[in-house]
Amino acid sequence: MSDFKLGEVADAITVVAHLGRLTFYAPSHNLANSTEHDVQLRCQMSEPCFDVAHLGHVEVLTDRFDESLDFFTRVYGLKLSAQEGGSAYLRAWDDYEFHTLKLTAAATTGVGHIGYRVSSPKALERRVAAIEASDYVVHGWTKGDAGHGPAFRFEDPFGHHFELYWETKRYDPRPEDRPALKNVASRFVPQGAAPRRLDHVNLLADDVTTFRNFMQTCLGARVTEQIRLDNGRLGGCWFTINNKSYDLACTEEHGRGRGRLHHVTYATDQREDILRAADIFLENGVHIETGPHKHAIQGTFFLYVWEPAGNRVELANAGARLILAPDWETVTWTETERKKGQAWGLNTIETFHTHGTPPVNEIP
Ligand SMILES: [Fe+2]
Ligand SMILES: [Fe+2]
């Protein structure tokens, strides 16, 4: 690289700076001449694809709406943006969108849909084209709801409904909810656990490898960590579509259910917030399933509880961990390693392997 002249090939390389260390990557073609087709092709390959920006919201179903809403606002500490049509639109205090949790009254529990915001209108076109060209079930366009504009809906092979959207409704705080500093989305109010933002969702699937193919094809997701069982099957996969360590996890379904939710998670600024939350849950009679403790996979500090209708909800703190390497190699955990328990030795509680929502006998 000693006779390398940056100016001569500046448009044909990608230069990535890592705190003083420069790494040069020579792509196979000139980026300046990239077509949408090229971008779409890269999204189908192992190269990072940033068409999808972030996990936007999760719709959680409840058959005990009033109790669930009381939990999510007074105890878990989300803020209520609106309530209409049998749904409550909720967000954490620094979520920039109108809602990140849509709590919907239903005959049972579980997940209604999972919404991802895309990076641009063009990125949405590329993703829609890729999904339509696939064999996955497509539901097509919806006009959106109180929290966002038109959304393109599709379905994974296990019955979970996904949507992609660009147009969103940003949260506009009322005067009493306006923050002192203008670079946060709303005022911090220490009501309940009061997490800062939506972090991730964990789904259950009969075949994690099939689910992984879906995430790579439809969202351009990368797998940051996974579990490989002794029988050769994938026990779990952790996916990212940006530089977070994960925004969706999928673990193997052991309860013979379909389209089930394992948990939804919000992030706190500090581990200490999670210890405080444990006492708040205890005082309010909330079922603490496991934690606080630290996951071996992803190193996330965690606490799992069940909201009144039975949906599992997590609080998590991933520290400063980010996935910056564009050529990140998936970390694979063996079954033997997993049997050692969580990071500091806590054994994974049995219900963590079996409890999902809705309960199996209520699945339509
Ligand atoms: Fe939505
Ligand atoms: Fe989690």
pLDDT bucket at 48, cuts 50 / 70 / 90? confident
Residue 256, φ and ψ in degrees, nearest 5: 60, 30
| pLDDT at res. 47 | 73
Q: Which ligand is nearest to the CA of 161?
A: 1
Distance 84 CA to ligand 1 centre (A): 14
In this prediction, residues 2-14 reach a mean pLDDT of 34
Distance 327 CA to ligand 2 centre (A): 24
Three-state SS string across 26-93, please? Answer: CCCCCHHHCCHHHHHHHHHCCCCCCCEEEEEEEEEEECCHHHHHHHHHHHCCCEEEEEECCEEEEECC
Total length of the chain = 364
Distance 89 CA to ligand 1 centre (A): 10
| pLDDT at res. 28 | 36
| pLDDT at res. 351 | 93
Distance 6 CA to ligand 2 centre (A): 43
Q: Which ligand is nearest to the CA of 149?
A: 1
In this prediction, residues 26-40 reach a mean pLDDT of 47
| pLDDT at res. 65 | 98
Give ∠ CA 276-83-188 in degrees, rounded to 5.
Answer: 35
Q: Which ligand is nearest to the CA of 265?
A: 2
Is residue 137 within 8 A of residue 160, CB to CB? The reply is no
Among 14-23, 39-48, 254-263, name the most confident range. 254-263
Distance 334 CA to ligand 2 centre (A): 19
pLDDT at residue 22 greater than cutoff 60: no
pLDDT bucket at 15, cuts 50 / 70 / 90? very low
Q: Which ligand is nearest to the CA of 99?
A: 1
Lowest mean pLDDT across 232-236, 301-305, 336-340? 336-340
Distance 140 CA to ligand 1 centre (A): 13
Distance 166 CA to ligand 2 centre (A): 26
Distance 110 CA to ligand 1 centre (A): 15
Distance 37 CA to ligand 2 centre (A): 35
Q: Strand, helix or coil at 293? A: strand
Ion ligand 2: residues, CB < 5 A: 265, 314
| pLDDT at res. 73 | 98
Lowest mean pLDDT across 180-184, 217-221, 228-232, 344-348? 344-348
Distance 130 CA to ligand 2 centre (A): 28
Distance 149 CA to ligand 1 centre (A): 9
Please give the Cα distance from 154 to 361 (Å, whole number).
Answer: 25
Distance 226 CA to ligand 2 centre (A): 13
Q: Which ligand is nearest to the CA of 162?
A: 1
Mean pLDDT across the chain:
89
| pLDDT at res. 131 | 98
Q: Which ligand is nearest to the CA of 301?
A: 2
In this prediction, residues 33-47 reach a mean pLDDT of 56
Q: Which ligand is nearest to the CA of 201?
A: 2
Is residue 342 within 8 A of residue 247, CB to CB? The reply is no
| pLDDT at res. 20 | 33
Please give the Cα distance from 236 to 253 (Å, whole number).
Answer: 10
